[in-house]
Amino acid sequence: MPRKPIVTATIERLEILSPDGSVDEALLPELSGEDMVGLYREMVRMRAYDEKAVKLQRQGRMGTWAPLKGQEAPQAALALAMEPEDWLIPAFREHGIMLARGVPGHVLYAYWAGDERGSAFPEDVRVFPIPVPVGSQFAHGAGVGMSLALRGEPGVAVTFGGDGATSEGDFHEALNFAGVFRARTIFVIQNNQWAISVPREKQTAAETLAQKAVAHGIPGIQVDGNDVFAVHVAAREALDRARSGEGPTLIEAVTYRLGDHTTADDAGRYRDPEELARWQERDPIPRMRRFLEARGLWDEQQELVLTDEATAWVEAQVEALEAMPAPDPADIFRYMYAEMPASLREQMEELREEVSS
C-alpha 220/C-alpha 218 separation (Å) is: 7
Q: Annotated catalytic residue: which of 101, 140, 232, 257? A: 257
Is residue 257 flagged as an active site residue? yes
C-alpha 87/C-alpha 139 separation (Å) is: 14
Distances (CA, A) of 122 to 95, 118, 193, 219, 225: 16, 11, 34, 34, 30
Distances (CA, A) of 147 to 119, 141, 199, 304, 354: 22, 10, 35, 45, 43
Is residue 87 within 8 Å of 98, Cβ to Cβ? no
Return the SS3 of 224: strand
Is residue 270 flagged as an active site residue? yes
Is residue 106 flagged as an active site residue? no
Quick one: CA dihedral 259, 261, 264, 266, positive or negative?
Answer: negative
Q: What are phi and psi of 191, to 5 degrees?
A: -80, 90
Of 29, 5, 22, 20, nearest to 231 (Cα)?
A: 29
Is residue 15 within 8 Å of 224, Cβ to Cβ? yes
Is residue 29 within 8 Å of 228, Cβ to Cβ? no
The number of beta carbons lying within 10 Å of the beta carbon of residue 350 is 10
Q: Give the residues across from 251 on adjacent strands.
A: 188, 221
Q: Annotated catalytic residue: which of 13, 270, 278, 295? A: 270
Is residue 106 within 8 Å of 318, Cβ to Cβ? yes
Q: What are phi and psi of 296, to 5 degrees?
A: 75, 20
Q: Annotated catalytic residue: which of 93, 95, 241, 261? A: 261
The catalytic residues are 257, 261, 270
